[in-house]
Every structure is written in structure tokens, then in C-alpha cells.
């Protein structure tokens, strides 16, 4: 098997881990809202999954993606690759500067003011919105990777 295919295999495994983990957050949050006693543990659990499982897998996606460009003699200037890479950067910035801080604020607000506090509710709503936008970006990237549309040029 070529090194390109081995890289692609690892790339797809990383997609499964990263996107699959992210997809469970909504379920965790819904369960947490129904069981306020477990909410603190659930929020820290989501934070742990994000830091230790999902985000490293997104890092591995970039590394294996770039390695495939090299191994497969592909160009960053290819429209579907350039668009996907741009969306990847936007999505990662949104996660690091928006969603992750919102989760941290949510935990702090839960401890200081409780579930009904305005600070908690605001951080939870912000995290939800950013999470949905992040998932849409990732779904668009996945489509670009799978369909490789010509787009322009």
C-alpha cells in the first residue's frame, strides 16, 4: 500500500474521532439540562473530550492532510483544497477563541451563580450557537474533501 493511502486511512480515522466526538456534545448538554445534579461533571467531561480527544484529532487532520499534499503531488492552490484549508482555519479559530472559552465560562458561571443565572444561560446559548456553526463548517469541509468539486479555474 502506498504511503498516500496509509496517510488517507489515518486522515479518515481522525475525521471519525474528531467529528464523532463533537457530535456527542449536543447529547451531553441535553442530558445535563435534564439532570442538573450531574451538570458539573458533564460539562467537565465535555471539556476533557474536547481537549484530549477531539482537538488532537483535528491537529492530526491538518498534519496528515498536508502530508498527503506532499505525497500525492497535490497543490494547495487547487480550489477544493484551498477552500477547505481556509474553512479549517476559520473553524479552528472559532473553536479556540469562541466555543472553548464559552464552555469555560459556562462551568465558572455554574459554580458561581448556578444553572438559572443569566451568565450561565448566556454562555450556554453562545456555546450552542458556535457549536452549530462549527459543525456546519466541518460538514462543508467534509463535502469538499469527498466531492472535490472544480469550483473555479
Contacts to ligand HEM by CB under 6 A: 8, 11-12, 15, 61-62, 65-66, 68-69, 74, 81, 84-85, 88, 138, 141-142, 145-146
| Minimum distance, C-beta of residue 137 to ligand HEM, in the bound complex (Å) | 8
Q: Which C-beta is closer to ligand HEM: that of 63 or that of 125? A: 63
Rounded Cα–Cα distance for residues 43 and 27 (Å): 12
Min. distance of Cβ 52 from ligand HEM in angstroms? 18
Q: Which residue is nearest to ligand HEM (CB)?
A: 65
109/137 with CB nearer ligand HEM: 137
Nearer to ligand HEM, 61 or 109 (CB): 61
Shortest gap between Cβ of 20 and ligand HEM (angstroms)?
11
* 98 neighbors 130 (Cβ within 8 angstroms): yes
Q: Which is nearer to ligand HEM, 5 or 30 (CB)?
A: 5
In the complex with ligand HEM, the residue whose CB is nearer, 30 or 139, is: 139
CB-based contacts of 18-26 (< 8 A; 24+ apart in sequence): 18/54, 18/55, 18/57, 18/58, 18/61, 18/138, 19/138, 19/142, 21/49, 21/50, 21/53, 21/54, 21/57, 22/54, 22/131, 22/134, 22/135, 22/138, 23/135, 24/49, 25/49, 25/50, 25/131, 26/131
Smallest gap, in angstroms, from Cβ of residue 117 to ligand HEM?
34
Q: Report the nearest approach of ligand HEM to the CB of residue 55 (Å).
A: 11
Q: Are 86 and 147 in contact (CB under 8 A)?
A: no
Amino acid at each position: 500500500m502506498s504511503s498516500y493511502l496509509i496517510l488517507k486511512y489515518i486522515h479518515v480515522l481522525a475525521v471519525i474521532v474528531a467529528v464523532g466526538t463533537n457530535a456527542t456534545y449536543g447529547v451531553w448538554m441535553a442530558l445535563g439540562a435534564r439532570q442538573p445534579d450531574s451538570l458539573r461533571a458533564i460539562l467537565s467531561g465535555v471539556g476533557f473530550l474536547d481537549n484530549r480527544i477531539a482537538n488532537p484529532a483535528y491537529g492530526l487532520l491538518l498534519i496528515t492532510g498536508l502530508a498527503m499534499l506532499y505525497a500525492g503531488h497535490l497543490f494547495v492552490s487547487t480550489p477544493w483544497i484551498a477552500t477547505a484549508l481556509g474553512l479549517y482555519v476559520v473553524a479552528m479559530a472559532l473553536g479556540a477563541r469562541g466555543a472553548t472559552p464559552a464552555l469555560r465560562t459556562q462551568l465558572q458561571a455554574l459554580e458561581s451563580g448556578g444553572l438559572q443565572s443569566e451568565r450561565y444561560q448566556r454562555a450556554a446559548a453562545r456555546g450552542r450557537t458556535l457549536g452549530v456553526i462549527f459543525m456546519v463548517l466541518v460538514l462543508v469541509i467534509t463535502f469538499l474533501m469527498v466531492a472535490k468539486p472544480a469550483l473555479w479555474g
